[in-house]
Amino acid sequence: MKLKYINLMAAALFALSACQPDEYSLGAKSLTPDDLAEGIAFDYTIDQKTNAVSFRTLDIIGKDMTVCWDLSDAGFGYKQQRDVTINIPFDGDYTVFFGLITPGGYVRSDTIRFHIDNINGDLLTHEAWTLLTGGSGKSKTWVLDLDKDGVSKYFSGPLYFYGTDDWYGNVSGSYDALGTDSWNWQAGWSDNTWMTGDAWNSAPYDFGTMTFDLKNGAHAIVEDTGNGSSSGTFQIDTDNYTIDFTNAKMLHLPSYDGVVISWSSDLRIYSLTEHTLQIAALRDAALSGEDACRLVFNFISLEAYNDPSLLVSSEAPAESQPVVDIEVSDLETSLFTIVGDDATYLASAVTYLMNEDVPYNWMWWNGGSAAWESNDFSGGYNGTWAPTPGSDVSDFALILEKSSDGKLTFTDENAGITGTFAISGNKLTFSQPITFLKAESSVRTVLMETSEVYVIKADNKNNSFYFAIPDGTDATGAVNQYLYVELVQKSIGGGATGPTNLIVDNSALLYGDIEGKGNLRIELYNAYGSGSKDNPPFTPEKLKFKKQMVITFTVSGIGKLNNPCVATIGTGLDWAFDGSSTYCGNASITGDGTYKVTYNSDGTTKLDLSSFSEVFVIDMLGVGTQLSSDALGDSYVDHSQKDDPGEGKSYLLDPSNAGTAFTITIDSITLE
């Protein structure tokens, strides 16, 4: 279900920033259509026997210039290459343009007009023409595979999702994908009704029809209920299985109209039989706010819509392999098994927390590959079908306990709910419903609130557990899709692991009289200017806790101070760097030694680095005034902000030029 190529013309325009030649063979002046005339910038030839039209860029157009032929009026879209040959099956008058992409934009020639004398039937012998149109002199009408009753007669639904590098060759043939972005989610509509948007939600919906004919030309008539009707011509590239429209747009779901740059060009045919058709359009990342992917619209012939018996078994969908149930053996043992650094043991109680990096996901059965698959949400969620989870995922804590007599109990710590639960196979049944997750956007809510969950993954070694609910079934009633949350263990009994220890790289630690105020500062992170921003001593994303943070650090080489000084944690949360913060437990610095400072949550603020406004330090107030300038060193770190250049220079210890060496190390940062 990963819902991850822009039409060629748009791609050419977008490529402008990366394709700016330093000089032109035509000279440095701004180009005009007169500079791009036939015989000057290009020429072309026509073979009236085969209807092949060959366009050639002349040498005066330097190889460092970006050429883009506009062949859309002839039905062949845009070609960003110097030399192009197109094969036009039908006689008639045609117009095209030669163009260059320049720093000033796309400059194209005056209209190139030419005439094809005869129909070349040899160009129409490929079966794709016949399957799509019914044959020479005939027409065929197609509809999206979703009727007014919400039934898809052949496909799982009207829309599938594929990678940007998928094409006919690897979807319906034996060739490789065009690149590495190859995947698919063959979505079932009944379990994903959001894909049809408000059109279906308001009432049962007739999306319209799309008719192709070969009657003295290749024509397309699209009666599109939601997006507006259009008519024009079309061309098929039978080598690459692409289709381009002129003055017409392919039939599509109205809920996706605004996320595709062109519904007329850069369209790929993924499969085509007598009564089934799949055409893929490119979802644009900028328009959709999601990763680019191929939106594959599934059609059946109007004839098959009225007589589904025409969809014979020889046209069975690719997802024909039956669902294989997910099995988890000895679930009870897995739930209470802790894999530690030194040993593996059974715990009497375990807390399950949410994996905050990817808290929820879907897993579905791909019958074509006979495998269970899931998304890659490492790049984040989105605002439509997969809303971004709220911060409350960090509050989730499910405690499972097993008493000496075998009784199983649970505590939903965040909700304050307790009860019992039972295990049967890979199913857990709780005595009360548990809210595992709620993610909302203006478009959709993803909710997992249930008293029955299926554990579809229990990986103790990698500490990964999927608690799931069924989210779809196939025609036989077998569950073929799950919505799941990913949980991780934290033991609270029978060998508790205790608080999390944040790993610190002391070689990247900055310290000294960093602001020149007479204090000795340990800079753990500062987003302003140079210094720890680009090379922090810990992973900032790991600094998350609910209750308390305890930092232990050691100072060596300053000897004994004349006067004790206060050490305090300073953050951007309240901008209190003087020891007065109500969040902090301070320490008294007397000289060399090991000290602890704490940062306490108030019970409502769930602290993470973003809450600190990206400043996180330990200040030992007044220590700097008791040290010599030789000890402090004379290098600086620039913490100036971009709108205040040159200001904010501050000093820190650089052991390479310090007169008297002293060291500060972070011994531990514990989070709970």
- For residue 218, the domain's CATH number is 2.40.128
Backbone phi, psi, residue 492, to 5°: -125, 10
> Residue 477 falls within a domain, yes or no?
yes
- The dihedral built from the CA positions of residue 60, 64, 68 and 69, taken in this order, carries a sign that is positive
Q: Which residues contact residue 315 at a Cβ distance below 8 angstroms, ignoring those fewer than 6 apart?
A: 154, 273, 274, 275, 276
Angular region, 582: left φ>0, alpha ψ -120 to 50, beta rest: alpha
310 and 235 within one domain: yes
The position carrying tokens 């790991």 is 542
| In a shared domain, residues 215 and 246 | yes
* Contact partners, residue 425, CB within 8 Å, separation at least 6: 328, 331
Contact by Cβ (8 Å): 100, 210: no
Strand bridging mode 371-374 / 344-346: unpaired
- Classify residue 541: in a domain, yes or no: yes
Residue 326 counted as domain residue? no
H or E stretch including 288? helix 285-288
Compute the distance between CA of residue 155 and CA of residue 611 in angstroms, rounded to an integer. 48
179 in a domain, yes or no? no
d(CA 475, CA 284): 33
Q: How far apart are CA 545 and CA 568, in angstroms?
A: 18
Full residue range of the structural domain in which residue 400 is found? 331-491
As separate numbers, helices (DSSP H) first and strands (DSSP E) second, the chain gives 8, 44
Q: What is the DSSP string of 101-151?
A: EETTEEEEPSPEEEEE-S--GGGG-SHHHHHHHSSTT-EEEEEES--TTS-
Low-confidence ranges of the chain (pLDDT < 70): 1-30, 199-204, 312-320, 341-343, 367-369, 378-379, 383-385, 443, 475, 491-499, 529-531, 573-575, 602-613, 628-661
Helix, strand, coil in percent for the chain, rounding step 5: 15, 40, 45
**Whether 207 and 291 share a structural domain:** yes
Question: Could you tell me if residue 413 is inside a domain?
Answer: yes
- Interacting residues of 84 by C-beta distance below 8 A, sequence separation 6+: 54, 55, 69, 71
Q: What is the pLDDT of residue 417?
A: 93
- Statement to judge: residues 335 and 460 lie in one domain: yes
Q: Write down the pLDDT at residue 312.
A: 61
Q: Is 580 among the domain residues?
A: yes
606 and 521: one domain? yes
Contacts of 511 (CB under 8 A, 6+ apart): 520, 521, 522, 523, 652, 653, 664
Are 654 and 505 part of one and the same domain? yes
> In the prediction, which pLDDT does 40 show?
94
**Helix, strand, or coil (residue 370):** coil
**Res 140: pLDDT:** 95
Q: How big is the CA angle at 591 (ends 589 and 594), to the nearest 5 degrees?
A: 70
Are 608 and 655 in a shared domain?
Answer: yes
Q: Look up residue 165 and give its two tokens.
A: 């590098």
Token couple for 432: 């009360």
Q: Is residue 172 part of a domain?
A: no
Distance CA 360, CA 380 (A): 11
Of 120, 135, 165, which residue constitutes the final position of a domain?
A: 120
| Residues 6 or more apart whose Cβ sits within 8 Å of residue 644 | none
The length of the chain in residues reads: 672
Residue 505 and residue 486 in one domain: no
Cβ neighbours, 10 Å, residue 405:
5
Q: What is the pLDDT of residue 651?
A: 37
Same domain, 345 and 480: yes
3-state secondary structure of 509: coil
Q: How far is CA 410 from CA 231, 241, 407, 484, in A?
A: 63, 57, 10, 19
**64: which DSSP letter?**
T
600: left (phi over 0), alpha (psi -120 to 50) or beta: beta
Whether residue 260 is found in the same domain as residue 210: yes
Contact between residue 97 and residue 70 where contact means Cβ atoms under 8 Å apart: yes
Same domain, 513 and 628: yes
DSSP class of residue 335 equals H
Beta strands per DSSP E along 461-612: 464-473, 479-491, 500-502, 510-512, 520-526, 544-545, 548-571, 584-585, 587-600, 607-608
- Residue 218 · residue 168 · CB < 8 Å: no
Among residues 491, 515, 549, the one where a domain terminates is 491
Residues 237, 212 share a domain: yes
Phi and psi at 429, nearest 5°, equal -115, 115
Indicate the number of domains in the chain: 4
Whether 165 is in a domain gets the answer no
In angstroms, the CA 483 to CA 468 distance is: 5
Give the pLDDT score at 136: 82
End-of-domain residue from the set 440, 464, 491: 491
How far apart (Å, rounded) are the C-alpha atoms in residues 363 and 365?
7
Buried b (16+ CB within 10 A) or exposed e, 24-43: bebeeeebeeebbeeeebbe
Residue 19 sits in a domain of what CATH number?
Answer: 2.60.40.10
